[in-house]
A and B are shown apart, each in its own frame.
Chain A
Amino acid sequence: MDVATFLVQCLNALQYGLLLFLVASGLTLIFGIMGVINLAHGSFYMIGAYMAYAFAPAFAAHAGWGFFAALGLGLVLAVILGYALEWAFFSFLYERDHLQQVLMTYGLILVFEELRSIFAGDDVHGVAAPGWLAGSVPLGDLMSYPVYRLFMSAVCLAIALAMYLVISRTRLGMMIRAGASNREMVQSLGIDVKLLYRGMFAAGVALAVLAGMLAAPVTSVYPGMGNPVLIICFVVVVIGGIGSVKGALAAALLVGVVDTFGKVLFPQAAGVLVYVLMALVLLWKPDGLFRAA
């Protein structure tokens, strides 16, 4: 493998890992703080991708603002969706057994998939990247790298940084961290847990939707696209340690590297490598890499 190929694969690994992080960070927060195993999280990713498809004229426009307007509109819709879902389906589940939540969110997956089929059909659609990001950057003599993928990585990095700042430096972040380690105590200290949960859930949905919208031009938009992402993100969440955003970032990058380089170096065993990684990590550290205290 020459240097340019290696560099391209590194960038691919970084981009894939960061994208996984966007979905997995919401999942780990919902999981760690609210104690909800949300199988429908992959559906939010899918909904995001279909939003990008729905807004495609604005999304792919040559002028820059249409793209950002589409992203913004998607995020607003996602927050509304998350808020409404939490109110309608999740708020009465907190007292119940985890497995009841699993069953409920499984039902939601089926409903979302079928609504997608009714409203958007079952075809595969491509979504064009915005015109001003359509070019590619030359790497070495033969290789080049699409600008859009670099842009995706940059957006994901910016969001990861923003999340870090919010979680480690603000009062809200303090509540989130406290909630991850001891829910009852946070509640008894007089924090409105209901509102915190609803906000958390909406934020998690928004992150997954954003990931889906950003990924749409790269992966195209197709039925069932949320399922593989959901499973891989669960892998990321448990490798990182449930409830730990830092762990989710480390694990997402690790999974990105293993998956990308696995596909290049061991094409026959590419699918299984991520699971081998997870099994090894959990046998070494049964609580994941960064278990929130």
Chain B
Amino acid sequence: MSGATRHRAAWIAAGLAALALFPLVGGKFGVDFVTKMMVFAIFALSLELLAGQVGLVCFGQAAFFGIAAYAAVRFTPQAAPASVWWLAPASVGAAGLYALFMGSLSIRTRGVYFIMVTLAFSQMAYYAAHDTPLGGGTDGIYLTLVPTFTLAGLEIADLSKARPFYYFALAVLVLTFGALALLLRSRFGRALAGIRVNEQRMRAAGFSTYPYKLAAFVISGMVAGMAGFLFAVKDGFVNPELMSWHVSGTVLMMVILGGLGSLHGAVLGAFAFSLLQELFKSEAVFGDFAKHWHLGVGATIIVAVALLPRGLAGIRFRSTAHAETQMNADESERR
């Protein structure tokens, strides 16, 4: 294990411990807010897989988020609450199906064209929810029956309560992070990295790159769907704005702010972005100026771009010789 990896593992463990202990000290608002941050972190991880690892910058990630959220509401029976064991896979599956459709067409284009085609497909989902009875129009629809989470007849967690839901979201975040980390170390993950660095060369080496990109696209859509499912259960309410391009834009900004190319960057970016918004919205800190919170967020983002070319994940606390060479190696790999 190299020094840099050990440092990173220590930081991740510390962050995990802080998240696990937070509900003991955080009040109602705090627990709710951190739950939202974790849901966005899962959402950001889904985009990091595509944009950071394969180099496919998707500007339609909100479609999967929103479709799974709508599916969670629509699939819940009228009479009795659903079980998480089938509702979550069904919602994620719905997002995955749309990702399969969207990905199979859009990965034929590249670069900025890819960005715009994915936007087009997510806008189609947005208007489908906005203009048809299926989505309940602009008002959205309520999820009145929170799904149950039981095993062999015993309740594991009451998801309608804030703290149990917090730990549920944390568990999903950890599992998603772990699964993606394993995936990226596998042969499949190395092939994705190869496609990002030089797709031509991968083809010349005998890889058919299309199925790899499509698989990554569908996995990403499903992870985003998981975040959307959590969001619907948490808020008990869905509306078409969940699929608007603002949401796709926000999650893209989180990933870029965190630093493309690393999973922990996506989580850092999601947390930092949410905290930044909350900080500048806080009337305790900024008084009357808090209603102009966009100004503070915007200015901070501009400063962050100017000072942190590699995102938050690129910050090195100790610039040892090893870290320097590692950075240079990364740099030349990316070129």
Contact = CB atoms under 8 A, between A and B. Distances in A.
Interface of A: 31, 37, 89, 92-93, 96-100, 102-104, 106-111, 113-115, 117-118, 231, 234-235, 238, 242, 268-269, 271-272, 275-276, 278-279, 282-283, 286-288
B256 A242 contact: no
A271 B293 CA distance: 31
B109 A282 contact: yes
Interface in B108-137: 108-110, 112-113, 116-117, 119-121, 123-124, 127-128, 130-132
Interface in B167-186: none
B164 interface: no
Contacts of A106: 249, 253, 298, 301
Given A102-B252, A231-B245, A279 B299 contact: no
B297 interface: yes
A69 to B, nearest CB: 32
Contacts of B105: 279, 283
A211 B252 CA distance: 29
A48 B304 CA distance: 28
Given A115-B295, A117-B292, A96 B309 contact: yes
Given A111-B298, A115-B295, A283 B108 contact: yes
A175 B180 CA distance: 47
B39 to A, nearest CB: 21
How would you classify the secondary structure of chain B's contact residues: helix, strand, loop or mixed?
A: helix
B327 interface: no
Given A114-B294, A269-B127, A282 B117 contact: yes
Contacts of A269: 127, 131
A107 B305 contact: yes
Interface residues of B, number: 41
B294 A113 contact: yes
B295 A279 contact: no
**Of B131, B253, B294, B309, most A-chain CB atoms within 10 Å:** B294
Interface of B: 51, 57, 105, 108-110, 112-113, 116-117, 119-121, 123-124, 127-128, 130-132, 245, 249, 252-253, 256-257, 260, 292-295, 297-302, 304-306, 309
B249 A111 contact: no
A286 B108 contact: yes
A111 B299 contact: yes
Contacts of B298: 106-111, 114
A107 B299 contact: yes
A99 B57 contact: yes
Contacts of A282: 109, 113, 116-117, 120
A102 B260 CA distance: 13
A271 B131 contact: yes
A97 B55 CA distance: 12
26 contacts: A37-B112, A96-B309, A97-B260, A99-B256, A102-B252, A103-B301, A103-B304, A104-B302, A106-B298, A107-B297, A110-B297, A111-B294, A111-B295, A114-B293, A117-B292, A118-B295, A235-B116, A235-B120, A268-B132, A269-B127, A271-B130, A272-B127, A272-B128, A275-B124, A282-B109, A286-B109
Contacts of B57: 99
Contacts of A231: 119, 245
Given A110-B298, A269-B127, A279-B105, A103 B113 contact: no
